[in-house]
Amino acid sequence: MNADELLKRHLELVLEANKTTNITAIDSWDDGMKLHVEDSLVGLPELEAAPAGPFADIGSGAGYPGIPLAVMTGREALLVDSVKKKARLLESFVQELGLENVAISDERIEDASRQFRGRFSAVTARALSKLSVLMELAQPLLAPGGHLICYKARMEEEELVHALSLQKRLGYRVKSDRTIDADDRIRRIIVLEKVGEPALKLPRHVGYAQKRPL
């Protein structure tokens, strides 16, 4: 299968699985193409601009944006989701698609960090948490100079100001910030570069998942 066929087959598998297991709020082909596949690819230039090497997609859900990005770049990828049924489905998708560059972890991100410390050139996250929390979660996974690529929708100014006030202490600097206004949706891709280790001992967080899928 070529890349286009792989992305479509992945979506077919997601929609099929979603009939029996709730893995996404999106249940139509057109919405899936737009809100999962196309939206995942919005961050492709940012991943291509990251240093060479593997990336981790944290809180991957049905595999977005991790699977489309792994297909398009051919980079090695680790998709992390601690909900076991989602991780099992991710395993089955990856197997069915024959994606040898993609591995799955069913651990919590905080636990996977111990095993994969400093291993990733980039970390992607969509619809997982607030920016400051993403910065904490991704820090141990990133290699020095690695990029945290955050897919945000509309963001309260307060969230951004808070995250930016922490960037130095958390060992980051803002690399890029791009807003895409497509159709009726706003997508903002914020990239933070890891420039050092955090100056704070980071607390262990619980329950990061957002209520809304996107």
For ligand SAM, the binding residues (CB under 6 A) are 59-62, 64, 80-83, 86, 108-109, 126-128, 208-210, 213
Is 75 known to sit in a ligand binding site?
Answer: no
Q: Which residues pair with 142 in a beta bridge?
A: 120
Is 100 known to sit in a ligand binding site?
Answer: no
Positive/negative CA dihedral, 66, 38, 210, 124? positive
Residue (2 or 84) nearer to ligand SAM, CB: 84
Is 196 known to sit in a ligand binding site?
Answer: no
Q: How far is the CB of 58 from ligand SAM (least distance, A)?
A: 7
Q: Amino acid letter at 31?
A: D
Is 146 known to sit in a ligand binding site?
Answer: no
Is 109 known to sit in a ligand binding site?
Answer: yes
Using CA atoms, how far apart are residues 98 and 105, in angstroms rounded to an integer?
17
Q: How far is the CB of 205 from ligand SAM (least distance, A)?
A: 7
Residue (60 or 139) nearer to ligand SAM, CB: 60
Which residues, at least 6 apart from 113, have a Cβ–Cβ distance to it below 8 Å? 137, 140, 141
For residue 87, the Cα-to-chain-centroid distance in whole angstroms is 14
Q: How far is the CB of 212 from ligand SAM (least distance, A)?
A: 7
Which residues, at least 6 apart from 8, have a Cβ–Cβ distance to it below 8 Å? 37
Residue (61 or 171) nearer to ligand SAM, CB: 61
Residue (137 or 192) nearer to ligand SAM, CB: 137
Tokens describing residue 49: 């601009």
Q: How far is the CB of 82 from ligand SAM (least distance, A)?
A: 4
Residue (76 or 111) nearer to ligand SAM, CB: 111
Q: Which residues pair with 80 in a beta bridge?
A: 58, 105
Q: How far is the CB of 192 from ligand SAM (least distance, A)?
A: 18
Beta strands in the chain (DSSP E): 55-58, 77-80, 102-105, 120-126, 142-152, 172-182, 185-194
Task: Provide the annotated binding site for S-adenosyl-L-methionine.
Answer: 59, 64, 109-110, 126
Task: Provide the annotated binding site.
Answer: 59, 64, 109-110, 126
